[in-house]
């Protein structure tokens, strides 16, 4: 969700300076501004669709007669394919051209959105969401590469700041926009409008991209790693299937065997990455980066934080609508104070405090968010007054913003510039994996408790797990060096 914004400023692979100069020469004035706007449109598409579906899930479940596990796959499928194919998407752009792969990604995303909006059943919708995530993984890495082509190094600073601002607003606005669209119900489309709204935006981005964007690709493109991609995908799927499907099927034998297989596949993936790096110089990940303690800790915090936040946003929409009987519009409005809190943490608190306290800001953010989540759970259970819930959500948002902003820079602070691209891709991949785990694990806990109690009680159990994950983030942050942005001695 909001985590996406912190990694959007990291290119999948550092492009050649020569390509950047060529791009600047090709695009000047209004044409370059229009090209940048086209890239921003694609950014909005990618990020909004990580969160817009949350508000629509109860309506989707009713409209399609979907099971609880099916609603989890609607969220998880997008994150899963994004995580698996993200690095491959960046390397395809290096090999075959950023403009070409951008158009392929936008076109695929638009078609997948149409399939989501027309889905006659839950199975079709899940398949279309998988396709959406795959298209997003192809589209996303090209955005930064195209900005690198179009602007000089100094000009990029302001453009990448726009990426961060727009990305944050898009992530915050997703659940709000979803609720507003469902409440408006244009043409009687109901929940389908949250997907169909992508069509005009996607078509505009596609036509404008064809007309405006410069051609370019890396002269030093890294090779694809199909075996690494398959191993990573198999490990994640083996972990997620039992988490989502096991409860409904009575925890059959494979619900234990698959997580064990996931560990085996993860080990195989690591060993393959080490061998491939030694043999050809690159793999899906860079194992040598884990030698830096700050990177190991930062990546672990990213995974835990993404799991907690995306799981919370999923169950929040469910409890507000299924437990408290709120409409999608009411649910959207309650996300506003949360979003404002996040923006306050990112824009007002983080930049002023991070240089002085370093990792202490992450600890403060994790504990503040945990306190806000506990307050939200208590308000939902004992005093479901919208104003009180809004206040606790605002506190949660402030804590979340204090983590979201600095987490990416902290993770990459001690990474050598030569590894900046792959390190950024690994950071973004950890975010997407966390998003999938949040929907699977925290969502499954919510539905398991819901089987034996009310939605408020289920929400409290899910929030308890969120708090444990945030406490782990705070604990890991304590092991970071005090002057994290100082050169290592």
For the chain, give every domain's residue range: 1-225, 238-283, 286-489
Q: Which of 175-179, 194-198, 344-348 has the lowest mean pLDDT?
A: 344-348
Question: Residue 17: its pLDDT value, please?
Answer: 39
pLDDT tier, 253 (very low <50, low <70, confident <90, very high otherwise): very high
Question: Residue 424: its pLDDT value, please?
Answer: 80
In the block, which residue shows the tokens 């009575």?
250
Residue 345 confidence (pLDDT) above 90? no
* pLDDT, averaged across the chain: 87
Alpha carbon distance 197, 182 (integer Å) = 11
Question: Residue 157: its pLDDT value, please?
Answer: 67
Residue 24 confidence (pLDDT) above 50? no
Q: Which of 12-26, 122-136, 375-389 has the lowest mean pLDDT?
A: 12-26
Residue 482 confidence (pLDDT) above 70? no
CATH 3.40.50.40 fits 286-489, yes or no: no
Residue 43: both structure tokens together: 């950014």
pLDDT tier, 8 (very low <50, low <70, confident <90, very high otherwise): very low
Output the CA–CA distances (angstroms, integers) from residue 361 to 344, 348, 400, in the order listed: 14, 13, 11
Higher local confidence (pLDDT), 196 or 6: 196
Residue 472 confidence (pLDDT) above 60? yes
pLDDT tier, 486 (very low <50, low <70, confident <90, very high otherwise): low
Q: Which of 85-99, 200-214, 296-310 has the lowest mean pLDDT?
A: 85-99
In the block, which residue shows the tokens 């990474």?
415
Question: Residue 414: its pLDDT value, please?
Answer: 80
pLDDT tier, 418 (very low <50, low <70, confident <90, very high otherwise): low
Question: Residue 170: its pLDDT value, please?
Answer: 83
| 276, 14, 5, 345 alpha-carbon torsion, rounded to 10° | 110
Whole-model pTM: value is: 0.89
> Alpha carbon 487 to chain centroid distance?
30
Residue 145 confidence (pLDDT) above 90? no
Q: Which of 213-222, 327-336, 400-409 has the lowest mean pLDDT?
A: 213-222
pLDDT tier, 483 (very low <50, low <70, confident <90, very high otherwise): low
What is the percent of the chain with per-residue pLDDT over 90, rounded to a whole number?
A: 58
Question: Residue 14: its pLDDT value, please?
Answer: 42
Read off the pLDDT of residues 363-403 as tens digits, 9 standing for 90 and up.
Answer: 999 999 999 999 999 999 999 999 999 999 999 999 998 99
pLDDT tier, 21 (very low <50, low <70, confident <90, very high otherwise): very low
Residue 7 confidence (pLDDT) above 60? no
In the block, which residue shows the tokens 């404002």?
340
Choose the CATH number for 1-225 among 3.30.70.420, 3.30.360.10, 3.90.1170.50, 1.20.1250.20: 1.20.1250.20
Alpha carbon distance 68, 237 (integer Å) = 18
pLDDT tier, 269 (very low <50, low <70, confident <90, very high otherwise): very high
pLDDT tier, 440 (very low <50, low <70, confident <90, very high otherwise): very high
Question: Residue 6: its pLDDT value, please?
Answer: 40
In the block, which residue shows the tokens 């990940």?
285
Helix (H) or strand (E) holding 381: helix 360-382
In the block, which residue shows the tokens 């919208």?
386
Read off the pLDDT of residues 287-300 as tens digits, 9 standing for 90 and up.
Answer: 988 988 899 999 99
Produce one character per residue of 278-304: b if its CB has 16 or more CB atoms within 10 Å, e if not. Answer: eeeebbbbbeebeebebbebbbebbbb
């Amino acid at each position: 969700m909001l985590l996406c914004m912190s990694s959007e400023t990291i290119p999948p692979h550092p492009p050649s300076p020569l390509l950047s100069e060529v791009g600047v020469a090709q695009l000047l004035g209004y044409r370059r501004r229009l090209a940048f706007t086209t890239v921003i449109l694609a950014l909005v598409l990618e990020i909004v669709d990580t969160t817009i579906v949350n508000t629509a899930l109860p309506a989707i479940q009713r409209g399609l007669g979907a099971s609880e596990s099916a609603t989890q796959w609607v969220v998880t499928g997008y994150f899963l394919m994004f995580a698996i194919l993200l690095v491959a998407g960046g390397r395809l752009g290096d090999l075959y051209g950023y403009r070409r792969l951008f158009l392929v990604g936008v076109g695929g995303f638009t078609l997948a959105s149409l399939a989501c909006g027309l889905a006659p059943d839950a199975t079709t919708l899940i398949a279309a969401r998988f396709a959406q995530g795959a298209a997003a993984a192809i589209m996303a890495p090209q955005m930064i590469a195209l900005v690198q082509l179009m602007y000089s190094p100094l000009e990029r600073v302001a453009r990448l700041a726009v990426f961060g601002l727009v990305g944050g607003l898009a992530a915050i606005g997703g659940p709000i926009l979803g609720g507003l669209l469902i409440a408006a119900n244009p043409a009687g489309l109901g929940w389908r409008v949250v997907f169909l709204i992508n069509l005009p935006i996607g078509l505009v981005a596609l036509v404008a991209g064809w007309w405006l964007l410069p051609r370019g690709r890396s002269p030093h493109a890294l090779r694809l790693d199909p075996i690494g991609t398959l191993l990573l995908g198999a490990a994640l799927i083996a972990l997620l299937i039992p988490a989502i499907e096991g409860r409904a099927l009575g925890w059959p034998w494979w619900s234990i065997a698959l997580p064990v297989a996931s560990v085996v596949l993860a080990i195989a993936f690591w060993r393959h990455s080490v061998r491939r790096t030694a043999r050809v110089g690159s793999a899906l990940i860079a194992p040598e980066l884990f030698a830096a303690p700050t990177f190991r800790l930062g990546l672990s915090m990213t995974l835990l934080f993404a799991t907690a936040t995306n799981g919370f946003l999923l169950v929040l929409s469910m409890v507000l609508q299924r437990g408290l009987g709120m409409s999608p519009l009411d649910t959207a409005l309650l996300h506003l104070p949360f979003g404002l809190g996040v923006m306050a943490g990112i824009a007002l608190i983080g930049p002023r405090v991070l240089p002085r306290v370093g990792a202490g800001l992450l600890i403060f953010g994790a504990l503040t968010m945990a306190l806000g989540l506990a307050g939200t759970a208590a308000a939902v259970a004992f005093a479901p007054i919208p104003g009180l819930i809004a206040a606790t959500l605002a506190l949660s948002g402030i804590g979340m913003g204090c983590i979201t902003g600095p987490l990416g820079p902290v993770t990459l602070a001690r990474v050598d510039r030569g590894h900046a691209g792959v390190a950024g891709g690994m950071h973004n991949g950890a975010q997407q994996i966390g998003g999938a785990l949040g929907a699977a694990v925290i969502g499954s806990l919510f539905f398991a408790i819901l089987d034996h109690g009310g939605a408020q009680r289920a929400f409290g159990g899910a929030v308890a797990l969120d708090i444990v994950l945030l406490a782990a983030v705070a604990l890991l942050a304590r092991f970071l060096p005090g002057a994290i942005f100082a050169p290592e001695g």
